[in-house]
Amino acid sequence: MRVRVLHDYEALSLAAAEEVAETLRSRPDAVLLLPTGTTPLGMYRRLAEMHRRAGLSFARATFFNLDEYLGLPPDHVASYRAYMHRNFYSLVDADPRRIHCPNGAAPDPEAECERYEAEIRRCGGADLCVLGIGRNGHIGFNEPGAPFGSRTRIVRLAESTRRVNARDFEEGRVPEHAITVGMATIFESRRILLLASGASKARAVAAAIEGDISESVPASLLRRHPDAAFLLDGEAAAGL
């Protein structure tokens, strides 16, 4: 597993965007598994710039969201589907027919998880998975304890995650559950890139890179992957 420490958030965002662009140049029909959160916003901004200025095309790529809150209508401003459209898909030439996100308002959420997992498999799995990391080491919404063999499923969010994510919700009413792509599905991605920025991530990053490989630190699983990289800024790398 590679670890790259960039000097600040801007450099991290540019390096991440370059890795995505490289994947698309070598394989324009790549399947991408993508994160939400504040960390990847700079990467999406850079990718939109590369599209506008350098003609980088996303038209043949296929996109999957890593996760979605359960019980939110898809057009809810805090839904991850809305986030991805606002911050990325609407700014590039992504083909709406190739954009996938779990439907958090599906009448049968269990069936929705199975459908989503089957869709990822039908597309051949992800060529590149980009991840953020939670302060407790979560990836997607795979909270500590998530089985390494897990697939797309419904999960209960950790209270600490709900507290952090309360910033995205009026009156802080964060859903208690979410749909997340599982650990095994993430691990099967041909390439994985984890982005971490800021001092609040330093402990989780150090645990993932230097602690035991354990389900109690989901991001530690990446160390078993043949082509995974951590992209960090100096603050996130401070515990190493």
Active site residues: 67, 136, 138, 143
Contact 232, 8 (CB under 8 A): no
Pick the closest to residue 128 from 64, 57, 189 (CA basis). Answer: 189
Cβ proximity to ligand GLP, 13 vs 39, nearer residue? 39
In the set 9, 12, 24, 35, which binds ligand GLP (CB under 6 A)? 35
Chain residue whose CB lies nearest ligand GLP: 132
What mask, x for binding ligand GLP by CB under 6 A, covers residues 66 to 95? xx----------------------------
Instruction: Name the minimum Å distance from CB 25 to ligand GLP.
Output: 26
Pick the closest to residue 190 from 140, 130, 128 (CA basis). Answer: 128
Specify the amino acid at residue 159.
Answer: E
Dump the DSSP string for 72-95. --TT-TTSHHHHHHHHTGGGTT--
Instruction: Name the minimum Å distance from CB 161 to ligand GLP.
Output: 5
Instruction: Name the minimum Å distance from CB 133 to ligand GLP.
Output: 6
| Count of residues engaged in binding ligand GLP, rule: CB under 6 A | 14
Q: Single out the segment in contact with ligand GLP by CB under 6 A; choices: 4-12, 100-108, 133-141, 169-177.
A: 133-141
In the set 44, 58, 64, 141, which binds ligand GLP (CB under 6 A)? 141
CA atoms within 13 A on the CB side of 147: 6
Q: Tell me the backbone φ, ψ of residue 205, rounded to 5 degrees.
A: -65, -45
Specify the amino acid at residue 10.
Answer: E
Contact 128, 32 (CB under 8 A): yes
Quick one: CA dihedral 168, 170, 173, 177, positive or negative?
negative
Q: Which of residues 93-132 bind ligand GLP (CB under 6 A)?
A: 132
In the set 42, 140, 144, 182, which binds ligand GLP (CB under 6 A)? 140
Cβ proximity to ligand GLP, 56 vs 85, nearer residue? 85
Q: Does 165 bind ligand GLP (CB under 6 A)?
A: yes
Q: Tell me the backbone φ, ψ of residue 232, rounded to 5 degrees.
A: -125, 150
Q: Determine the angle formed by the axes of helices 80-87 and 41-54, rounding to 10 degrees.
A: 40
Q: What is the DSSP pairing of strand 177-180 with strand 153-156?
A: antiparallel
Q: Single out the segment in contact with ligand GLP by CB under 6 A; choices: 10-18, 32-40, 85-93, 212-220.
A: 32-40
Catalog residues that contact ligand GLP under the rule CB under 6 A. Answer: 35-39, 66-67, 132-134, 140-141, 161, 165
